[in-house]
């Protein structure tokens, strides 16, 4: 089985989402035969913003695409190839302003493509990234066990919808909070809990496949 490992935190050395997404990959490797890990860092290997030419290229049949359109589609083609090629996606995902980091939104705009990751049928839309397992390690600064704060979460509902649209229905969120605006004890406890959940999730994937 192949893993596509994606990080998008703007932080490096001190990033908790990076540390935990790496642990998720390692735990999957411990419990399962992983043949390859493809790594994508959206913070350093930044996705382009889509353009008018990009959209024209998407809706032009391949034989009639101009050199400019093909250039605009290049990064999207590469990302989509990597998504189809992998069986498991592990995504380190910090919350920014109650939603996803902008680099991940740019990535979504590039990969949500008709005929490639979804298509229209007479019964409605159909996602084309099928039989994939997704782990999202979602770190948040604030304590989301507070009901009012919880209603500010536009990250998880959005990701569930857009992932479902492109065929990704088996999504496991590991929510890690509070990692910033809390005390040291709460931070350590959030990380410890996440580490346990990650080990269990990796183990359970193995059980499901026996
Ligand atoms: C630009 C920015 C915006 C943030 N917005 C939120 C937010 O809306 N809610 C929240 O709980 N934490 C917020 N945080 C805190 C981060 O979610 C938290 O520090 C992050 O998940 C840690 O991930 P990392 O260690 O991998 O960088 C924000 C952090 C930054 C840098």
Helices 16-31 and 184-209: crossing angle, nearest 10°? 30
Residue 195 has pLDDT above 80, yes or no: yes
At 127 the pLDDT is 98
At 85 the pLDDT is 98
Quote the tokens at residue 191. Answer: 């990380």
Band of pLDDT at residue 209, cut at 50, 70 and 90? low
CA 133 – CA 20 distance, rounded (Å): 17
E strands in the chain: 2-7, 36-41, 88-94, 118-121, 124-127, 133-139, 170-176
Range of the domain at 98: 2-209
Averaged pLDDT, 124-147: 95
CA atoms within 13 A on the CB side of 100: 24
Band of pLDDT at residue 154, cut at 50, 70 and 90? very high
At 208 the pLDDT is 58
The structural domain count of the chain equals: 1
Residue 142 has pLDDT above 70, yes or no: yes
Pocket probe for ligand 1: among 18, 174, 180, the residue whose CB has the most ligand atoms within 8 Å is 180
Q: CA distances (Å), 189 to each of 53, 127, 135, 185, 194, in order?
A: 48, 37, 21, 6, 9
E strands in 8-141: 36-41, 88-94, 118-121, 124-127, 133-139
Residue 47 has pLDDT above 50, yes or no: yes
Averaged pLDDT, 118-137: 96
Q: In CATH, what number is assigned to the domain containing residue 189?
A: 3.40.50.360
Averaged pLDDT, 57-80: 97
Residue 60 has pLDDT above 90, yes or no: yes
Centroid of ligand 1 to alpha carbon of 94 (angstroms): 6
Nearest residue to 89 via CA among 131, 53, 119:
131
Residue 138 has pLDDT above 60, yes or no: yes
Helices 102-111 and 67-85: crossing angle, nearest 10°? 100
φ/ψ of 95, rounded to 5, equals -85, 130
The atom of ligand 1 lying closest to the CA of 16 is 25
At 210 the pLDDT is 46
């Amino acid at each position: 089985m192949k893993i596509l490992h994606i990080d998008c935190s703007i932080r490096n050395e001190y990033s908790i989402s990076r540390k935990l997404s790496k642990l998720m990959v390692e735990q999957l490797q411990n419990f399962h035969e992983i043949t390859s890990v493809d790594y994508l860092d959206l913070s350093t290997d930044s996705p382009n913003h889509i353009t008018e030419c990009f959209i024209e290229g998407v809706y032009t049949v391949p034989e009639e695409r101009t050199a400019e359109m093909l250039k605009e589609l290049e990064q999207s083609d590469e990302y989509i190839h990597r998504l189809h090629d992998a069986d498991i996606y592990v995504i380190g995902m910090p919350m920014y302003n109650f939603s996803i980091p902008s680099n991940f939104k740019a990535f979504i705009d590039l990969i949500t493509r008709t005929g490639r990751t979804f298509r229209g049928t007479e019964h409605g839309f159909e996602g084309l990234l099928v039989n994939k397992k997704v782990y999202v390690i979602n770190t948040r600064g604030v304590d989301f066990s507070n009901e009012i704060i919880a209603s500010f979460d536009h990250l998880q509902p959005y990701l569930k919808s857009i992932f479902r649209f492109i065929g990704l229905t088996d999504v496991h969120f590991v929510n890690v909070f509070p990692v910033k605006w809390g005390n040291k004890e709460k931070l350590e406890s959030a990380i410890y809990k996440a580490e346990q959940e990650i080990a269990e999730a990796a183990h359970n994937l193995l059980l499901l496949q026996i």
